[in-house]
Chains A and B, each alone.
Chain A
Amino acid sequence: MQNERWLLPEGIDEILPPRAWELEQLRRDLLDLFHSWGYEFVIPPFVEFLESLLTGTGGDLDLQTFKLTDQVSGRLMGVRADIAPQAARIDAHRLREDTPSRLCYLGTVLHTRSDGFAGSRSPLQIGAELYGHGGVESDLEILRLMIQTLDLVGVRGVSLDLGHVGIFRSLAGQAGLDSSQESALFDALQRKAVPEIEELVAAWRLTPEQALMFEALAELNGDDALAQAGERLLAAGDDVHQALAYLRRVADGLREWMPEVPVHFDLAELRGYHFHTGTVFAAFVPDIGKEIARGGRYDGIGRAFGRARPATGFSADLKILMQAGSAGERDRDPAPKILAPWSEEPSLQHRVMELRGQGMRVIPALPGQHGAAREMGCDHELRWINGKWQLTPV
């Protein structure tokens, strides 16, 4: 092996020109979009004490979080693996408003293991959260903002996947499953492993009615899943039927606001089960094997911080969005890049400052430097012609 000091850790990447600038433009556009919807920008810290970082989020996030010891307090700190719980803490503890609050954020998070398609362990998470309203309307607002975000990034052919974690939770409660049974069934449902679900429900001696409903859950997906669900989950408790009614209202709203976006229902989709409490959703596009944006309702996470507020939101990895979308490639009318000769002549300096003020990029040629205008990637040069500093194409 030769010198490998340049290697980055697995799943840690960097973004180089011109992609980095495209990403920055996209970042600005997206924050402008969120701003125009009234979402306030917050910048939570990169590290926090572990207990506040992981409150109410379940074991998945714990495993994903890098930990380190604070030498000042001796307490354990975590590098954030998800910004949404930080935003919830800010809403519950720092803002303390009674009106609905809307927050958005963008920042790097770190994962101990990659679960991503490209194997990234350092996603650039962008998201928006709405606190203080517990109804269909706020879920719809977040869904619309998510779709508009994807549209702005230039992602085409989006379809939505919609589910509700309350359905499985109520069924499990109704069947009296203990937590290890619930997690075994949860695991099988996540993989739609119907043969395993049949084995589990048979081993636990559930009533045939309950067994059939769990099996139905794995099969209730597709455009008509909601229509079938009423019948196949007929014996379920009121909670389940309320959840189904809630989903129907979300679906109706989506049809009204965004009839062009296909909606797929999946009642076994429980992503973020330990964190979410109601609707969960994700956006898929053709040719990418996993979701590119996701979100859902997570009421009550603020309880540990002194104030339980209904909450809903979405987030995505901006790097994946840029890959999936065409916005990065669209012609952003790049400003001319101009090479100026080296001189301390005030008239030249004046002209250079003037051009920069007009948004052009001016690079002085350094004395004795290697390469001329073309090698420097410049499309224009500043030349002294007819008693004036004039732009000439290279």
Chain B
Amino acid sequence: MEFNTPVTIALSKGRIYKQSLPLLEYAGIVPRDDPETSRKLILETSQRNVKLVIIRATDVPTYVQYGAADLGVAGKDVLLEHGGGGLYEPLDLRIARCRMMVAGVPGANLEADRLRVATKYVRTAQSYFAAQGKQVEIIKLYGSMELAPLVGLADLIVDLVESGNTLKANGLVPLQHICDISSRLIVNKAAWKMKHLVVSGLLEAFREAAQSS
């Protein structure tokens, strides 16, 4: 496809970047640098008009919402926390898949009053327990959630589970499935309208690539 207008795509390092590469390549976009070795935050690509910005996963919706990037790839977990306002999320890329789970020590009492729940995903946890009619205390943590039930900081945790190995290594078990998570293509509203040809072309290419993989 042709890129007759400049387009900026926001990605986060690691799993999402790696699994986005085949999709980008399908659309004819190959980065000129590797973010794992380069310290550059803006990557040039084989397409003169296409740039990639490499940022933290939780910042991707913010960059796209404010138009600092036209498109981005963000996990549904991040979008649920962000709220998704001001963005379009038209396509499930089916990459970086995992599950949002409630976990705890085996046999944890899920019916106790005012459970303390440690999580990075405050909004998701709150709305999940609220939908069940349960009032819980949320403890916001930034990482290593698995530790919280072991040291008595929380009764349960809400976290992403991929293989379950981290839980197992710490003597925890998944208890309830909240939702499936995968990465979405997100698009800035103004870019959708002002650069419609390029955006819809990319959307179509990613759709095909996601379906064939």
User: Footprint of B on A, CB under 8 Å?
Assistant: 115, 117, 159, 161, 191-195, 218, 221-223, 264, 266, 284-291
Q: List, in ascending order, chain A residues with CB within 8 A of B189's CB.
A: 289-291
- Grouping DSSP codes into helix (H, G, I), strand (E, B) and loop, the A interface class, with mixed when no group exceeds half, is loop
Whether the Cβ atoms of B67 and A195 lie closer than 8 Å is no
Assuming the A-B contacts A117-B66, A289-B66, are A191 and B193 also in contact, with contact meaning beta carbons closer than 8 angstroms in the complex?
Answer: no
Whether the Cβ atoms of B190 and A223 lie closer than 8 Å is no
Whether the Cβ atoms of B192 and A191 lie closer than 8 Å is no
Within 8 A of A (CB), among B189-213: 189-194, 196, 200
Pick the contact of A191 from B67, B84, B190, B196 — CB < 8 Å?
B84
Whether the Cβ atoms of B84 and A193 lie closer than 8 Å is yes
Tell me the count of chain B residues lying within 8 A, CB to CB, of chain A: 24
Pick the contact of A264 from B87, B89, B188, B196 — CB < 8 Å?
B196
Q: List, in ascending order, chain A residues with CB within 8 A of B196's CB.
A: 221-223, 264
Q: List, in ascending order, chain B residues with CB within 8 A of A285's CB.
A: 194
The minimal Cβ–Cβ distance linking B97 to chain A, given in whole angstroms, is: 13
The minimal Cβ–Cβ distance linking B5 to chain A, given in whole angstroms, is: 9
- Interface: B86 (CB within 8 A): yes
A78 to B87, CA, bound (A): 30
Q: List, in ascending order, chain B residues with CB within 8 A of A222's CB.
A: 196, 200
The minimal Cβ–Cβ distance linking B79 to chain A, given in whole angstroms, is: 9
Q: List, in ascending order, chain A residues with CB within 8 A of B68's CB.
A: 289
Assuming the A-B contacts A117-B66, A223-B196, A264-B196, are A194 and B90 also in contact, with contact meaning beta carbons closer than 8 angstroms in the complex?
Answer: yes
- Interface: B128 (CB within 8 A): no
Closest residue of chain A to B182, judged by CB? A195
Q: List, in ascending order, chain A residues with CB within 8 A of B194's CB.
A: 159, 284-286
Assuming the A-B contacts A191-B87, A218-B90, are A290 and B192 also in contact, with contact meaning beta carbons closer than 8 angstroms in the complex?
Answer: no
A285 to B191, CA, bound (A): 10
Assuming the A-B contacts A191-B89, A222-B200, are A288 and B84 also in contact, with contact meaning beta carbons closer than 8 angstroms in the complex?
Answer: no
Provide a sorted-by-A list of 15 A–B residue pairs whose CB atoms are within 8 angstroms: A117-B66, A161-B193, A191-B89, A192-B88, A192-B192, A193-B88, A195-B91, A195-B92, A222-B196, A285-B194, A287-B67, A289-B65, A289-B68, A289-B191, A291-B189
Within 8 A of A (CB), among B76-114: 84-92
Interface centre among A218, A223, A286 (most CB of B within 10 A): A286
A266 to B200, CA, bound (A): 13
Interface centre among B67, B86, B194, B200 (most CB of A within 10 A): B194
The minimal Cβ–Cβ distance linking A341 to chain B, given in whole angstroms, is: 52
A194 to B193, CA, bound (A): 17
Assuming the A-B contacts A284-B190, A290-B189, are A191 and B66 also in contact, with contact meaning beta carbons closer than 8 angstroms in the complex?
Answer: no
A285 to B188, CA, bound (A): 13
Known: A264-B196, A289-B189. 9 other contacts (CB 8 A): A159-B193, A161-B193, A194-B91, A195-B92, A222-B200, A266-B193, A284-B193, A289-B65, A289-B86
Chain A to chain B: the 10 pairs with minimum beta-carbon distance, closest first: A289-B67, A192-B88, A195-B92, A192-B90, A193-B89, A264-B193, A284-B190, A191-B84, A289-B190, A289-B66
Whether the Cβ atoms of B86 and A290 lie closer than 8 Å is yes
Q: List, in ascending order, chain A residues with CB within 8 A of B85's CB.
A: 115
Pick the contact of A290 from B67, B84, B88, B91 — CB < 8 Å?
B67
Pick the contact of B190 from A115, A194, A195, A290 — CB < 8 Å?
A290
Q: List, in ascending order, chain A residues with CB within 8 A of B66's CB.
A: 117, 289
Whether the Cβ atoms of B192 and A288 lie closer than 8 Å is no
Q: List, in ascending order, chain B residues with CB within 8 A of A290's CB.
A: 67, 86, 189-190
Whether the Cβ atoms of A191 and B88 lie closer than 8 Å is yes
A334 to B125, CA, bound (A): 59
The minimal Cβ–Cβ distance linking B44 to chain A, given in whole angstroms, is: 21
A264 to B66, CA, bound (A): 20
Interface centre among B85, B188, B189 (most CB of A within 10 A): B189
Q: List, in ascending order, chain B residues with CB within 8 A of A264's CB.
A: 193, 196
Closest residue of chain B to A160, judged by CB? B193
Contact with A along B10-38 (1 / 0, CB 8 A): 00000000000000000000000000000
The minimal Cβ–Cβ distance linking B98 to chain A, given in whole angstroms, is: 16
Within 8 A of A (CB), among B166-199: 184, 187-194, 196
The minimal Cβ–Cβ distance linking B101 to chain A, given in whole angstroms, is: 19
Closest residue of chain B to A264, judged by CB? B193
A217 to B16, CA, bound (A): 29
Within 8 A of A (CB), among B155-175: none
The minimal Cβ–Cβ distance linking A345 to chain B, given in whole angstroms, is: 59
A266 to B192, CA, bound (A): 10
Q: List, in ascending order, chain A residues with CB within 8 A of B90's CB.
A: 192-194, 218
The minimal Cβ–Cβ distance linking B211 to chain A, given in whole angstroms, is: 13
The minimal Cβ–Cβ distance linking A124 to chain B, given in whole angstroms, is: 21
The minimal Cβ–Cβ distance linking B76 to chain A, given in whole angstroms, is: 9
The minimal Cβ–Cβ distance linking A263 to chain B, given in whole angstroms, is: 10
A213 to B200, CA, bound (A): 20
Closest residue of chain A to B93, judged by CB? A195
A284 to B194, CA, bound (A): 7
Closest residue of chain A to B196, judged by CB? A222
Q: List, in ascending order, chain B residues with CB within 8 A of A159's CB.
A: 193-194
A221 to B196, CA, bound (A): 9
The minimal Cβ–Cβ distance linking A62 to chain B, given in whole angstroms, is: 17
Q: List, in ascending order, chain B residues with CB within 8 A of A117's CB.
A: 66-67
A264 to B193, CA, bound (A): 7
